[in-house]
Structures are given as structure tokens and as C-alpha cells.
Amino acid sequence: MRQIIVATHNRDKVNEFRGIFSDMEIALLTLEQFPSVGAIEEDASTLEGNALKKASEVFRLTGIPALADDTGLEVRYLNDAPGVFSSRYAGVGATYETNVRKLLRDLNGVPLRRRGARFRSVLAFVPSPEGVEITEGSCHGVILEQPRGSGGFGYDPIFLPDGYSRTFAEMEPDLKNQLSHRAKAAFEMREILRRHSW
């Protein structure tokens, strides 16, 4: 079976990729199986730059075709912040909870109609030094005033996708995996993976 290594240290992302690619004949390896691959600094100024850096570095270190994801939550009222800084919005040592709390503080008193936001995921697939593939997906919604639900991860409890009455943290994982930013970018990537032989 063909193998891909998912170039992330985030287990929640790995779980989602397992769901999204479950019907494909591809074995997904993770960085847990390659402890020598340490943290990769995300110092690019764009999601594209960081995704490409993570995938290229993991491919270079393991020799296995690598798939990376860089995701940002862009809040219109905050001029698209936290964006590329979504994982460290609350500063050094930020957690999902402290990031959510900071975002709710920054939006304190802002009415729902002005709390529009979108998640944006960029995926980079590096199967060889020359063959780089990039896909992107986004999902629009609003940032609620209070967290709701215990599923998902990150900002999911405060993100209500447009057209739905449940937050990403309140819906079944399968539903998030059909309509999310990551799912859309991954569906496009599936077509690319089908065409590739390695």
C-alpha cells in the first residue's frame, strides 16, 4: 500500500485526516513513528509558506511523501487575525483554551452580525523535491459569544458554520469532515493523490 506521512505534531489533525482519507488505499504514517523529527518552526508569513515548509522538511528528513496542513482562523472584525498566528494567539505556551478565551475577550461586546470569520486550511504535499502540490479550503461562519460543545478541537466550540445550528464542537466528526476547511482542501488533494504514483 502507498504511504504518506502526515507532517503535523497535532493529533487532532491526524484524526481528522484519518477520517477524511479512510476510503483511500493509502497508509497514513504519523510523526509519532519518527521521534527524531523535532518541532519545525512555523516562521513563514503565510499559511502556504508554513505548509510547504513543514511538508518539505518532513520529506527531507524521512524520505517519505509528506502531507502538511497549516490552518488559520480569520476574523473579519479583527482584520483577519489571528490568521497565521492561530496556534499562538494567546502568546508563548498558548493552549486551545487560552486562545479561545483571548479571542472572546477581543470580541467582547461585538454583536453577532459583526463576528463573521472563516477557517482557511492550506495543504502541501511533497512526494519528491520537485513535485509540490498545494490545495486550499475555507469554511465561513461566525464566532459565538460562549463556547458550545465538547467535540472537535481548537476554536471549534466557538465557531458556528454558516447554514448550521451546531458548532463544529457540537456536530459529529463525520459532519465536520464533510464541510470543514480541512475537508475541502483534502477532497481536492485526494484527486491529486489519485493521479500520483509513488
Binding site for ligand ITT (CB under 6 A): 8-10, 13, 42, 69-71, 86-87, 96, 99, 119, 152-156, 168, 180, 182
Residues carrying an active site annotation: 70
Could you give the CA distance from residue 26 to residue 61 in angstroms, rounded to a whole number?
Answer: 20
Distance of CA 185 to the CA centre of its chain: 10
Beta carbon nearer to ligand ITT, 119 or 125: 119
Beta carbon nearer to ligand ITT, 127 or 152: 152
Give me the least distance between CB of 114 and ligand ITT, in Å please: 21
Give me the least distance between CB of 164 and ligand ITT, in Å please: 14
Burial of 124 (0-12, 13-18, 19+ CB in 10 A): buried
Cis amide linkage into residue 129, ω under 30° from 0: no
* Nearest position to ligand ITT, beta carbon: 154
Beta carbon nearer to ligand ITT, 88 or 196: 88
> Are the CB atoms for 102 and 78 separated by under 8 Å?
no
